[in-house]
Amino acid sequence: AYAYDRNPNPIATYLIHLRLPAMPVEAAQPACLPMGMIGVTLSGVALFNGLDAMGRDAGAHEVQDRCGGHPERRGHYHYHGWSRCIPDATGEGEHSALVGYALDGFGIFGPKGEHGERMTNAALDACHGHSHTIAWDGKELEMYHYHFTEEYPYILGCFKGTPVRSGAR
């Protein structure tokens, strides 16, 4: 892979400190995504937007490891899209499980929708989410949430709520 993408960055230990709302609220206007971290998986891997440092589709232009991730210049290992290393042990015809949180507090779910169908951009809004009943904090609630897809932008297109600063160090 080094012959095609000479990423010299080693993976470094880092701390992510987030204070996300337990019950996120949709903002009056969607917010643009920053470069870099836009969320985090339940296992603690950072989620970055769909762009590489040069503003190109990261999934199409950057070499990823077998989990679909790589380190950025400071060593923060991250995903730009769905990873086969993220557990989504749902059965046939079931909605994907919660796999992470966006920086606005809304949940990020795997690639399967309400009836187990693979999600596509056409099934989601501009921010890459939609609303229907999901399991949230031990309850069934009608709530906005995001989904991973196999299409760019892969995770989020914008923030539906008000994002917090990541505090990654």
Whole-angstrom distance, CA of residue 83 vs CA of residue 77: 13
Question: 150: closest CA among 126, 125, 128?
Answer: 128
Whole-angstrom distance, CA of residue 14 vs CA of residue 4: 27
Convert the pLDDT of each residue in 60-97 to its tens digit.
888 788 888 888 888 888 999 999 898 876 778 889 99
Helix, coil or strand: residue 139: strand
In this prediction, residue 4 carries a pLDDT of 60
Whole-angstrom distance, CA of residue 21 vs CA of residue 41: 16
Please give the structure tokens belonging to residue 51.
Answer: 């762009």
The answer to whether the CB of 136 falls within 8 A of the CB of 41 is no
Please give the structure tokens belonging to residue 33.
Answer: 């995504």
Residue type, 42: L
Question: pTM above 0.75?
Answer: yes
Residue 5 has pLDDT above 80, yes or no: no
Residue 18 has pLDDT above 80, yes or no: yes
Residue 168 has pLDDT above 70, yes or no: no
The answer to whether the CB of 140 falls within 8 A of the CB of 134 is yes
Q: Determine how many CB atoms are found less than 10 A away from the CB of residue 115.
A: 8
Residue 151 has pLDDT above 90, yes or no: yes
In this prediction, residue 38 carries a pLDDT of 95
Please give the structure tokens belonging to residue 20.
Answer: 């996300």
- Confidence bin at 154 (pLDDT 50/70/90): very high
- Confidence bin at 117 (pLDDT 50/70/90): very high
Residue type, 101: Y
- Confidence bin at 167 (pLDDT 50/70/90): low
